[in-house]
Chains A and B, each alone.
Chain A
Amino acid sequence: MKHIELIELLYKHRELIDSAFSGESVQDLPLELVEDATVFQKVAKKYELSDTYVQFANAMLKRVDANYTFGDYNEEIKLLIRLKSDYLDTQDKMLISRIKELVITLYKKIQQRDILINARINDIVHDNDLSIELIIKDAQDVDNRISELIDAHSQNLKILSHELRGLDDSLDEVLVDIGLDMLPFTQNIHTYNKRLSDFILRTQKRKEQNKKLYSLSRKIIKEQDYELKSLLLSNTQLHNHTLKEKKTSNIKYLPTQLELSKISFIDALKKVLNIEKVERKSQVNKPYQTSKTVELKAIRLEYIQNDIVKDKPQDIYSYILNHKEIQKFQEDNLIQTYAFKTYLTVIQNNRENTTLETNYNQNNIRVVKWI
């Protein structure tokens, strides 16, 4: 399988892989995810994401497995020292290139470790699911390990910047470059140490505070909060509080009568507030209306009916529309409405005398003929 095919495969099953990555169990797994690429592995008859995939994803996402321990690279350092003494004995140039390779690998490992420590701390600081006790424990574990690493790291630096120097010019060049590149990691490891210690202190304080909050809230519920009351009342000048209750329960700070009578109050207010005069004009209500003469109109249906019988129109609607009984409503703009109502009434009352045509007139109304 080519790399591009792997990417396509992962994309095709992205939902499934993602749900498995979040810890859900997987059902109906497509076999290509096990056979073509080992994204999943079978463990005790169940499929779960393979360790290699999880490691890959964690590394890409800069997340760290909680069980991961950060290496101190003592073994690599020991090897470097052994290679140095071998070189001093044999003067074999091959050993110099092995030392160079090892130094570069060591640098890469330290760089990777730096990313992982940072990620682990971020995980701890932002994990809101774990209980506060577990978080403190995790943070302390990592913090202790970092303290150990600070010692190991300064040992490593000593080897790289002193012990290995002077063996070979090209090696010295590599060592100088790497020494410079290592500077930020040295700083970082101290920053991590401080950041975690601060975090632990803060979290412990919060844990203590939660206990206090819980205890005080129980006391309030049981109305045994005498200390709270006396603290609040003894220091009112320091505490935010509410004065002068309003009926709407909106509470505002309002000065008392005594304070209002102080001239300084008015002066002070005048200095900063634009007090606008509000005119008091009561609104005049007019509950009565002058009555108007209302003209009452009605359609005399029998007039129209008689005219229709007499004239036998080919299109009853158009005929009614132009009838003088309907034209009365011209000024009210209601002729269409009344014409249509009348049209329906006439047809309804004279089913046997009318026929329904298939076509429509210019008003889009079905043509009905009188027979």
Chain B
Amino acid sequence: MDIAKAFEILSQGKIISSNSATYVELSNMLLNNNFFDELDELVDKIGYKLIGENGYFYMAKKARLNTTEQQLFINRHRDLIISIAFLRQLYPRLDKGSIIYFTETVANYANAKNDDSSIKDMLLNFSWMKNKDDEKVMLEQLFKHLEDKNIIEKVQENNTDKYKILDAINYYLSIVDLVEKGEE
């Protein structure tokens, strides 16, 4: 792993979590202040910012976004906030480091839907959701989406049931905390 490889991964728009097994090498490098500063200096020259907080790392753009970018940017955040809200409805105490099982999630979803059918609206809301009749397939797509966006990760490569929640969940939770003032 060198700075070029680090740049290549981060430039894909990934949020790298320090509890991710896939990116353990990169996150260890980023935890090293010298490496972080060096990469930050580099991306700074090309108009970006390297951000590391709360156990995760990502790149942000300094200049204004054009309209297409804005739309993508907002949609991505919206989708992930709904996805996390969905998971928290099934697992109220879910947090970074928690382990969830796909099969258990399907069962919990079925129970939750009996109590409150509006939970299905969350799944239907995603524009990328195909096969809107089969809820199990929709949940599969949701897991895939969360995995693609580096919010969850398979604990073992060949086990498609067991997933770990990555530190990146805090990025979205902190945005929710900023937007919603709550009752505090």
Contacts and interface: CB of A to CB of B under 8 A. Distances in A.
B60 A240 contact: yes
Contact of B63 (A231, A256, A265): A256
Given A220-B82, A245-B68, A259-B46, A228 B177 contact: no
A237 B93 contact: no
B42 A265 contact: no
B49 A208 contact: no
Interface stretch (A59-67, A105-113, A267-275, A354-362): A267-275
Interface in A318-349: none
A225 interface: yes
A211 interface: yes
Per DSSP, are chain A's interface residues mostly helix, strand or loop, or mixed? helix
B143 interface: no
B59 interface: yes
B176 A221 contact: no
B92 A240 contact: no
B132 interface: no
Per DSSP, are chain B's interface residues mostly helix, strand or loop, or mixed? helix
Chain B CB count within 10 A is highest, among A220, A241, A262, for A241
B180 A216 contact: yes
A95 B10 CA distance: 75
Contacts of A211: 182-183
A344 to B, nearest CB: 50
A220 B69 CA distance: 19
B93 A132 contact: yes
Given A132-B93, A236-B73, A272-B4, A243 B61 contact: yes
A240 B122 contact: no
A214 B86 CA distance: 8
A140 to B, nearest CB: 16
B81 A255 contact: no
21 contacts: A208-B184, A213-B88, A216-B179, A220-B81, A228-B81, A232-B73, A232-B74, A232-B175, A238-B51, A239-B73, A240-B15, A240-B51, A240-B58, A243-B13, A245-B68, A245-B72, A253-B61, A259-B46, A268-B42, A272-B3, A274-B4
Give the 5 A-B residue pairs with the shortest CB-CB distance, closest first.
A212-B180, A217-B85, A240-B58, A213-B85, A241-B73
Interface of A: 128, 131-132, 135, 203, 206-217, 220-221, 225, 227-229, 231-233, 236-245, 250-253, 255-256, 259, 262, 264-265, 268-269, 271-274
